[in-house]
């Protein structure tokens, strides 16, 4: 370290122009690397969080295909819990072709949520209780929803079944009536898991608490293609800022490329300095300095230049440039953390170290041998 500091001091005194070029190279590398990281994270945030002005998605059932209760169950259970937590409700509808009410052309609606891998009915029960719509009996329990019990809640007004019915038959299953509610359908409310696996649904609606994001849309499409291929068709929404995202990609790639070129340029400049100081290096070797020690000496010297200058560049970026860039890139402020700054610095430091190590290792022996053959003291 002592010799490296002495060599660095001599370099600054004797090769001011070269040192200034090295300073500029490292300084702008720090700016560009952190800028490209910010652009990348801003781009990533916009691609995943870009949203349409709608909280609902209504996929179509492909022509000639049937979405059965078994298909819908498999699809729902394959979605991530993170995505399911963002859904307000999944609503599937079908028009019964036979049984009570079939001649009326009514629509059976199945609404449910999934919480921790279980079919949840508590939200609906709480909603009916809060609005005093449970007129007699009770609503479905969590256990009935989770086990698919043959229990039903019927309408107390618009009902295709007699109001005094103790049991009702729906899709070939007999259900025990546990309560009467003011509901918006002539058909009863039953647990999703109690429905026959072969029951076909005619439509599907997925409602989110907030506007649908690109990440949510992609997971829904990917899961459908994987679990029930060819059945559900999602029309791609027009997510905003496609042109901006294209520009971000280009800026990010150009900035990263310039940063890497700057790192390589630093190594090339330092290699130039190694060649100019070949006489000093030859004397070190004659005095017992091994090849590996000589390499470590010059790599350490290069790092002693890089680290302080990089930190100066980082300080300028954080205190000056980032504030200005935040006005252009809306997520720029929130993407940086102390760990992210450290990670970017580590990448740059590793790049400089590897490039310097390679070029110095390849050239140092040749340079020394050439100086020895020519005579050190000439």
Q: How far apart are CA 80 and CA 219, in angstroms?
A: 8
Q: Which of the four pLDDT bands, split at 50, 70 and 90, describes residue 107? A: confident
* 231 vs 228: CA distance, rounded Å: 6
Distance CA 279, CA 15 (A): 16
DSSP β-ladder status, 87-94 and 203-208: antiparallel
Q: Quick one: average pLDDT of 91-106?
A: 69
Average pLDDT over residues 121-147: 88
Give the DSSP per-residue string, 53-101.
S-SEE-PEEPTT--EEHHHHHHHHHHS-HHHHHTEEEEEEEE--SSSTT
| CA-closest candidate to residue 144, choices 207, 189, 89, 186 | 189
**How far is 243 from 255, CA to CA, in rounded Å?**
18
Most confident of 120-124, 249-253, 266-270, 321-325: 120-124
| Cβ atoms of residues 60 and 205 within 8 Å | no
Q: Which of 128, 136, 120, 126 is nearest to 177 (CA)?
A: 136
Q: Once rounded to an integer, what is the mean pLDDT over residues 137-150?
A: 93
CA dist list (Å): 314 to 235, 262, 336, 363: 45, 15, 12, 32
Q: In the block, which residue shows the tokens 């800022």? A: 241
Can you tell me which residue has the tokens 């058909």? Answer: 187
| pLDDT reading at 242 higher than 60 | no
b/e code 109-136 from CB counts within 10 Å (16+ = b): bbbbbbeeeebbbeebbeebeeeeebee
pLDDT at 229 over 80: yes
The domain locations on the chain are 2-49+242-374, 56-233
Query: Which of 17-26, 343-352, 369-378 is predicted with the least confidence, judged by mean pLDDT?
Result: 369-378
So what's the pLDDT on residue 90? 94
Least confident window among 98-102, 332-336, 347-351, 355-359:
98-102
Q: Strand order of the sheet with strand 118-120?
A: 56-57, 203-208, 87-94, 108-115, 118-120
Q: What is the mean pLDDT of residues 257-275?
A: 66
Task: Please tell me the distance from the alpha carbon of residue 217 to that of residue 49, in angstroms, as a whole number.
Answer: 10
Sign of CA dihedral 77, 138, 174, 171: negative
Highest mean pLDDT among 110-124, 229-243, 272-286: 110-124
Residues in CB range of 181: below 8 A, 6 or more apart: 128, 133, 134, 135, 139, 153, 154, 155, 156, 189
Of 14, 53, 27, 24, which Cα lies nearest the Cα of 237? 53
Dump pLDDT digits (tens) for 52-68: 568 899 999 999 999 99
Q: What's the CA gap between 93 and 98, in Å, rounded? A: 15
**Per-residue confidence at 144, pLDDT binned at 50, 70, 90?**
very high
pLDDT > 90? residue 367: no
Confidence of residue 378 (pLDDT cuts 50, 70, 90): very low
Report CA-CA distances (Å) from 40 to 69, 285, 350, 351: 42, 46, 20, 19
Angle between helices 338-374 and 16-49 (to 10 degrees): 150
């Amino acid at each position: 370290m002592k010799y490296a500091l002495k060599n660095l001091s001599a370099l600054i005194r004797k090769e001011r122009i070269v040192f200034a070029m090295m300073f500029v190279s490292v300084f702008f590398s720090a700016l560009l690397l952190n800028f490209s990281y910010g652009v990348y994270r801003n781009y990533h945030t916009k691609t995943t969080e870009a949203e349409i002005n709608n909280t609902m998605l209504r996929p179509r059932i492909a022509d000639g295909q049937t979405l059965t209760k078994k298909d819908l169950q498999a699809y729902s259970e394959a979605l991530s819990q993170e995505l399911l937590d963002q859904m307000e409700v999944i609503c599937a509808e079908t028009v019964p072709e036979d049984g009570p009410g079939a001649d009326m052309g009514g629509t059976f609606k199945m609404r449910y949520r999934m919480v921790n891998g279980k079919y949840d009915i508590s939200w609906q029960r709480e909603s009916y209780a809060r609005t005093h719509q449970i007129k007699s009996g009770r609503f479905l329990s969590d256990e009935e929803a989770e086990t698919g019990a043959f229990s039903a809640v019927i309408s107390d007004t618009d009902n295709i079944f007699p109001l005094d019915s103790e049991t009702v038959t729906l899709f070939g299953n007999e259900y025990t009536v546990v309560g009467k509610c003011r509901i918006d359908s002539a058909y009863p409310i039953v647990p999703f898991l109690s429905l026959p696996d072969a029951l076909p649904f005619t439509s599907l609606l997925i409602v989110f608490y907030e506007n649908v994001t690109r990440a949510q849309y992609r997971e829904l499409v990917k899961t459908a293609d994987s679990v029930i291929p060819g059945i559900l068709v999602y029309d791609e929404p027009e997510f905003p800022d496609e042109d901006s995202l294209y520009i971000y990609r280009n800026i990010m790639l150009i900035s990263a490329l310039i940063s890497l070129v700057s790192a390589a340029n630093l190594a090339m400049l330092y290699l130039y300095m190694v060649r100019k100081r070949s006489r000093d290096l030859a004397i070190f070797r004659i005095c017992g300095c091994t090849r590996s020690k000589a390499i470590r000496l010059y790599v350490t010297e290069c790092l002693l230049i890089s680290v302080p200058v990089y930190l100066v560049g980082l300080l300028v970026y954080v205190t000056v440039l980032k504030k200005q860039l935040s006005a252009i890139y809306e997520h720029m402020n929130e993407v940086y953390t102390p760990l992210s700054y450290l990670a970017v610095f580590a990448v740059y430091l590793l790049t400089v170290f590897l490039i310097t190590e390679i070029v110095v290792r390849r050239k140092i022996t040749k340079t020394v041998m050439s100086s020895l053959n020519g005579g050190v003291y000439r």
